[in-house]
Amino acid sequence: MDLFQAMTVYVKVVETGSMTAAAFQCEMSTTMVGNHLRALEQRLGVRLLNRTTRRQRLTEFGTAYYQRCLEVLGLVAESERLAEQALDEPSGTLCITAPLTFGTEKLAPALSEFALLCPRVKLDVVLTNGRPDLLENGFDVAFRLGHMEQTNLIARPLVDYTLTMCASPQYLLRCGNPQTPDDLRLHDCLSFAYPAGDDWHSVEKEWRLMGPEGEVGVAVNGTLLINSSAALHQAARTGLGIVLLPDALVEQDLKDGKLVALMQDYLPSSRPMSLMYAQDRYRLPKLRSFVDFAIRMWGKH
């Protein structure tokens, strides 16, 4: 016997005044209603109703037990509402990983807005240019650059990760302004050292540019190869050479004139960016809320 169901049936019998009416409201047969009542009385060892062919009357114990059933069923319903609220309200710790520059320049400034939307979610963020395994390292969601290999993870496309070729006014005054890809061979082109396993690792000494004739690759040389976009940015600002840097990192310097965009007819190839997570974890409100937030902020619209 399902005790809570039997108590519900009993309450309906008392409130409607008959087993037939209770059966209609409980969407079961009158026989089944009678079975629930008999099972409940057998469990309690006390009669709840005095029944005749024409009417039923509550016993003294039946009246007291009816009130207790109302209290118990009310507590059960309230507990279920609390559970539903817990499932609907984002809470807990959300573990995120993202590329260093995107995470610093775009993700981190946006987290305050997400925190206002989901105040009960704690954020554990790891910024790295590597590609840590989500499941093995306990991440809920990852921002990833580059083309995704076949995986059992969901990959939501985000806006492309774009770069700008630029240099400081001091460098251009000293060394001149390149006009064509071939001109870059005569300049000090500073390079980012991509981590092993990155799909651009093999082309760190070659810049890919999309021009009027299509994509061209330019072999470049420079005095600096470094694995930090922030350091590369500072080197370019001080006039060390020409760089390809994420727009997220240089857009303010371009507006302020601290860096100058070069060769606008030959734009650096962009990189696809994706938001990745395990499908079976998407049901968690904390992850679902963050995915919706990230798509609104950086999704392809």
**Strand 153-161 relative to strand 225-226, pairing:** unpaired
DSSP string, 239-275: TS-BEEEEHHHHHHHHHHTSSEE--TTSEEPPEEEEE
Same fold: 92-161+272-298 with 163-269:
yes
The pLDDT value given to residue 53: 61
Task: Residues 92-161+272-298: name the CATH superfamily.
Answer: Periplasmic binding protein-like II (3.40.190.10)
Tokens of 70: 């109302």
Give the CA count within 13 Å in the CB-facing half-sphere of 184. Answer: 26
CATH class of 163-269: alpha beta
Beta carbons within 8 Å of 223's beta carbon, 6+ residues apart: 188, 190, 240, 241
pTM: 0.65
> In degrees rounded to 5, what are phi and psi of residue 192?
-90, 135
For the chain (301 residues), the mean pLDDT of every run of 10, in chain order, is 86 87 87 89 88 78 90 85 69 94 94 95 93 88 84 90 95 94 92 66 70 87 88 95 93 95 90 92 90 94 71
> What's the CATH code, domain 3-88?
1.10.10.10
Q: Indicate the domain borders of the chain.
A: 3-88, 92-161+272-298, 163-269
How many other C-beta atoms can be found within 10 angstroms of the C-beta atom of residue 214?
7
The pLDDT value given to residue 87: 63
